[in-house]
Chains A and B, each alone.
Chain A
């Protein structure tokens, strides 16, 4: 009875029972699996929250280069800038932190460190970046963080159900777009937003990433993925700000997801994680691919 595959249905259930989004998702899980309990689900989420924190921490301290030698040490450099009183980021403290933490997570990922796919590994930085930075700066409690993670998951679930989360399936809009939408909704819930405002924040974030292709150099999750996670975490915060300020999306969430699906289907194969177009086939991209001994031949 708590099942949903669209945001419209999700908001309907929230309205009917006066539930938050996370409560609906939790009850949906309990209904689906007779062996599940609320305690077990929350304990697993808590374990995952710690994976997020550890991933950021590892990423901030890493000095090694990634598998494809294109990233490594970016987060470490940024956090030392952040701590330097002589250097000023234009963003607020929380937004700057979110950006750095998102990059830290993805750099850790590119070095084959442990992360949580959120919803994918390539886009794993955005949501932890935004959520952990928000907690550190605003003191949200851990149980509020777990609820926010569930809200993010509900958004990801709707996108997975009606479009795709894979770069190979729908380009980067499917990955970073979903991640930004999930982060925007989760942050909006942390800030005390209504279920409608959470969905609005997700809508604005996803709408803003439509059309983004997946063209990483050598097909590796490094360039442009790592920095893109950082920059899109700030976009997720913008989307949440707009939603909290009472701005609505002209196009509802489900229709934006449908647009993402249609755009993904129409996207050329060269721009769907095949390393056969875009940044991957720039001069420097091809040089790096050759240097690494990766052969992109087509099949």
Chain B
């Protein structure tokens, strides 16, 4: 990794990188709201450059992290680093990333928990649990309307492909009980025809495939 801090540099980069993958591509604008220790000491740890580097898709040992502000200009990424107070319960190294382009907006909240390890705890309105050990697997993130047989159907497709489920979590939106977010993890990639079948389900309005991202 490029220094100086595993939690404030490498971890920050991984939060940026994971968020980029959750957004699905490079957004036009990324607002990094910094909480706690992130808000206090981000400049000296290059947390800002690392978050940007991750959002641009750089790996943790990419020397371009040092010049991430210039790189962001090249890649036409708008950014800002406002401070935020997410309350006492939030981890000291928390960032709330709001990514926007012409068509979409996704918000990700994640923590850098030390030694370069990260954890994504919120995607849009949904409280999730996506540690980096899970993000390194093959992941489907599905925004969908709640339907009684939806999960059974999806699990059926995966089961028939012969790929073993590693983790499945469904989270409901507390403000809108009809909408839900499901995260499916498998250790092997789900064949692309099965992914296409899943994508075609009528309840789904957004889906992302994270193929073992290097975090």
Least Cβ–Cβ distance between A264 and chain B, in angstroms: 11
Per DSSP, chain A at the interface is loop
Q: Is A33 an interface residue (CB 8 A)?
A: yes
Alpha-carbon gap, A203 to B44, bound state (A): 32
Query: Are the C-beta atoms of B2 and A292 separated by less than 8 Å?
Result: no
Query: Are the C-beta atoms of B6 and A121 separated by less than 8 Å?
Result: yes
* Chain B positions 81-138 with a Cβ under 8 Å from a chain A Cβ: 83-85, 91-93, 112-117
Residues of A within 8 A of B6 (CB): 117, 119-122, 124, 165
Query: Are the C-beta atoms of B4 and A110 separated by less than 8 Å?
Result: yes
Residues of A within 8 A of B83 (CB): 297, 299
Query: Are the C-beta atoms of A112 and B7 separated by less than 8 Å?
Result: no
Chain A residue with minimal CB distance to B38?
A168
Alpha-carbon gap, A191 to B91, bound state (A): 40
Query: Are the C-beta atoms of B45 and A272 separated by less than 8 Å?
Result: no
Query: Are the C-beta atoms of B93 and A168 separated by less than 8 Å?
Result: yes
Query: Are the C-beta atoms of A218 and B41 separated by less than 8 Å?
Result: yes
Residues of A within 8 A of B9 (CB): 121
Q: Among the listed B37, B44, B66, B115, which residue makes an inter-chain contact with A120, where contact means beta carbons less than 8 Å apart? A: B115
Q: Among the listed B1, B36, B63, B187, which residue makes an inter-chain contact with A117, where contact means beta carbons less than 8 Å apart? A: B1
The verdict on A220 contacting B45 (CB below 8 Å), with A35-B187, A112-B66, A275-B40 known, is: yes
Query: Are the C-beta atoms of B3 and A108 separated by less than 8 Å?
Result: yes
Q: Is B39 an interface residue (CB 8 A)?
A: yes
Query: Are the C-beta atoms of A273 and B4 separated by less than 8 Å?
Result: no
Q: Among the listed B2, B45, B112, B113, which residue makes an inter-chain contact with A221, where contact means beta carbons less than 8 Å apart? A: B45
Interface residues of A (CB under 8 A from B): 33-35, 66-68, 108-117, 119-122, 124, 156, 160, 164-169, 174-175, 218-222, 269, 272-276, 292, 294, 296-299
27 A-B pairs within 8 Å (CB atoms) are namely: A109-B3, A109-B4, A112-B65, A114-B61, A114-B63, A115-B1, A117-B115, A120-B114, A121-B4, A121-B7, A122-B5, A164-B114, A166-B7, A166-B113, A168-B36, A169-B113, A175-B114, A219-B40, A219-B41, A272-B37, A272-B92, A274-B40, A274-B92, A275-B41, A292-B44, A299-B39, A299-B85
Shortest beta-carbon contacts, A-B, top 10 = A219-B41, A166-B114, A109-B3, A220-B44, A117-B6, A165-B114, A221-B4, A120-B6, A168-B92, A121-B6
